[in-house]
């Protein structure tokens, strides 16, 4: 493969932190795969997408972004991933039990969503979200987002306040990893943002483009791109913060209008084929220039031990009886 992960290692430089990366090697070199690497890897392992993978499950946080899903559209049929943080319940045995001789890939994807959701019941509280996504719809969603970008670009000065208000109201996910959902977070639900844009901006070209994004994603699980989706709003037991996830629909997108975060430096056409095909980065940078959000806090620590990943479950004491014969 045309991938050289060993050349990309952890660095004390904040700008070279492995943003949006996968498959970290914590034991040897600290190598990892970028989003572009993942696209190339799946394209090659599926014989140039001739034999796509049926179901790909990301047991990792914040992966269900269109920036991550779009590059896999030809090499993977269904992705199961979360817009939010993922808790380390690891119910893989339940996933396996869902498979029978008659199980179809879409059925397995739906089952993984449900089994993950069910695995987090108990005394501790876990706000959570997970979705099964049909990547056959990614081309249509990409085209709809491209049109929405163009429409918003054309009115960005006239309706700057309405665009910002739509961002403020849209469902957030914890991009800055403070385990809270606030208006400083840069990952937002794509459907929910389009919904607010359609309501707040009267320009027909914008409302029509926003409606097309919503139609491409689908309003209810089982329609269009979203095969299944589960979310639960709750107080996170570790810090007492309430995570409102009621407007999660399954696919998020990057829009740093609450604060200018360091990820913007890496949000470019070299790394992300979604950005190449839609030009979403042009809109994002233009809005950042117009709205001038404040600078965000220090980026994620470069120490691998503190790197974001699946959140662990709370510890429970288990008493096993000892039976002597």
Alpha carbon distance 153, 149 (integer Å): 6
For residue 308, being part of any structural domain is answered with no
Q: What is the mean pLDDT of the chain?
A: 87
Q: Give tens-digit pLDDT for 200-238.
A: 999 999 999 999 999 999 988 777 899 999 999 999 988
For residue 312, being part of any structural domain is answered with no
Q: Give tens-digit pLDDT for 275-288.
A: 999 999 999 999 99
Q: Give tens-digit pLDDT for 60-111.
A: 999 999 999 999 999 999 999 999 999 988 899 999 988 999 999 999 999 9
SS3 content of the chain, % helix, strand, coil (to 5): 40, 15, 45
Is 197 strand, coil or helix?
helix
Q: What is the pTM of this model?
A: 0.89
For residue 68, being part of any structural domain is answered with yes
Number of domains in the chain: 1
Cβ–Cβ under 8 Å, residues 179 and 238: yes
Domain enclosing residue 213, as ranges: 5-295
For residue 56, being part of any structural domain is answered with yes
- Indicate the pairing of strand 234-235 with strand 252-254: unpaired
For residue 149, being part of any structural domain is answered with yes
pLDDT (0 to 100) of residue 28: 64
pLDDT (0 to 100) of residue 176: 87
């Amino acid at each position: 493969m045309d991938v050289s992960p060993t050349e990309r290692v952890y660095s004390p430089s904040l700008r070279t932190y492995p943003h949006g990366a996968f498959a970290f090697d914590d034991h040897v070199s600290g190598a990892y795969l970028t989003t572009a690497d993942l696209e190339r890897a799946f394209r090659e392992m599926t014989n140039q997408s001739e034999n796509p993978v049926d179901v790909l499950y990301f047991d990792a946080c914040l992966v269900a972004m269109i920036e991550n899903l779009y590059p896999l559209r030809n090499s993977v049929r269904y992705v199961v991933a979360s817009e939010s943080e993922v808790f380390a319940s690891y119910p893989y045995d339940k996933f396996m039990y869902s498979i029978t001789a008659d199980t179809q890939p879409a059925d397995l994807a739906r089952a993984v969503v449900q089994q993950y959701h069910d695995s987090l019941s108990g005394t501790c509280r876990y706000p959570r979200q997970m979705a099964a996504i049909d990547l056959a719809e990614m081309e249509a969603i990409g085209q709809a987002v491209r049109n929405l970008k163009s429409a918003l670009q054309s009115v960005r000065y006239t309706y700057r306040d309405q665009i910002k208000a739509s961002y403020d109201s849209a469902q957030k996910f914890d991009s800055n990893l403070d385990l809270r959902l606030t208006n400083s977070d840069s990952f937002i639900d794509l459907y929910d943002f389009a919904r607010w844009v359609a309501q707040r901006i009267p320009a027909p070209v914008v409302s029509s483009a926003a409606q097309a994004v919503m139609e491409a994603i689908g309003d209810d699980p089982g329609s269009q791109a979203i095969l299944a989706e589960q979310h639960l709003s709750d107080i996170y037991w570790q810090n007492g913060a309430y995570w409102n996830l009621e407007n999660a629909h399954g696919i998020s997108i990057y829009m740093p209008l609450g604060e200018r975060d360091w990820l913007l430096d890496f949000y470019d056409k070299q790394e992300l084929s979604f950005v190449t095909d839609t030009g979403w980065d042009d809109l994002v940078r233009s809005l950042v220039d117009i709205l001038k959000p404040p600078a965000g806090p220090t980026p994620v620590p470069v120490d691998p031990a503190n790197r974001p990943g699946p959140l662990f479950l709370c510890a429970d004491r288990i008493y096993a009886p000892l039976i002597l014969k």
